Amino acid sequence: MKRYLSITRDPLDEAGLVADRTLSSGMGAAVYFSGVVRGQEGADAIVALDYSCFVPMAEHQFQRLFDRLAQRGSVESVRLVHRIGRVPVGESSLWIEVVSAHRAEAFAACQWVIDEMKQVVPIWKKPVTAADACLPSDSNPAS
Amino acid sequence: MTIPVTFWSYFAELAGCSETVVTVSEPTTVDGLLAALYQAHPALAELRRSTLIAVGVEYQDGGYVLKPGDHVSLFPPVQGG
């Protein structure tokens, strides 16, 4: 199974990611999901989310998830990009694509990776309101 | 044996620092290290039930026996996506 992982502070280039897609002739499904920062966190209006990340562990845990995904045997490739740092409302913080032969497998695998990520990958988010938007982005010195 | 400990996310605010070093005798488990750590950082003790523990880049539980060179990380439930 081919895999691509990026944890980046840069805005996600979704058009570029889609343009870079490769799939073999036996593949009939390419499912991708883009997670976008909402303008509301609970009852509060926000302008951004500050994502912090323990990068070496996050990369390791993502690769372990990809290893488990590969064991399912039905996925040809997975590509995942997670943005960290300050992500404004309306911009994407997560992009994931799964390629497989059939759509059911691709949808299920995409959902599975996201669900598992939210259990084990050390990334955290902190809401940013308009009042504190001018403060520097919060991140751990070691991230 | 000295064990470096990193606090992630809002645990750093609760601890008042993002990193510290804990001196423990050998052999010591993660639970033993936490007992010493919670004395110095009582605000973290209140969140012990939801605390996630890693040694290096792997999750570990309280029974893990620490070795020289280990680096412990403590953090709240993760929130990626």
Q: CATH number for the domain including B55? A: 3.10.20.30
* Domains held by chain B: number: 1
B17 is a domain residue:
yes
Task: Quote the CA–CA distance of A69 and A97 in Å, as a whole number.
Answer: 13
Q: Which stretches of chain B sit within 8 Å of chain A by CB? A: 6, 8-10, 12, 18-19, 52, 54, 56-59, 73, 75-76, 78-81
- Domain residues for the domain of B42 are 2-75
A:B CB pairs within 8 Å: 67
B54 is a domain residue:
yes
Q: What is the pLDDT of residues A22-37, one digit of tens each?
A: 999 999 999 999 999 9
In the three-class reduction of DSSP (H, G, I as helix; E, B as strand; rest coil), residue A89 is classed as: coil
**The domain at A2-128 falls in which architecture?**
Alpha-Beta Complex (3.90)
> Confidence class of residue B18 from pLDDT cuts 50, 70 and 90?
very high
Closest CA to A49 of A140, A124, A115, A141: A124
CA distances from A5 to A55, A78, A109, B20, B24 (A): 12, 8, 16, 31, 37
B80 is a domain residue:
no
User: Is the complex ipTM more than 0.85?
Assistant: yes
Q: How many CA atoms are closer than 13 Å to the CA of A58, on its beta-carbon side?
A: 27
B29 is a domain residue:
yes
Residue ranges covered by each domain of chain A: 2-128
8 Å CB contact of B8 and A121: no
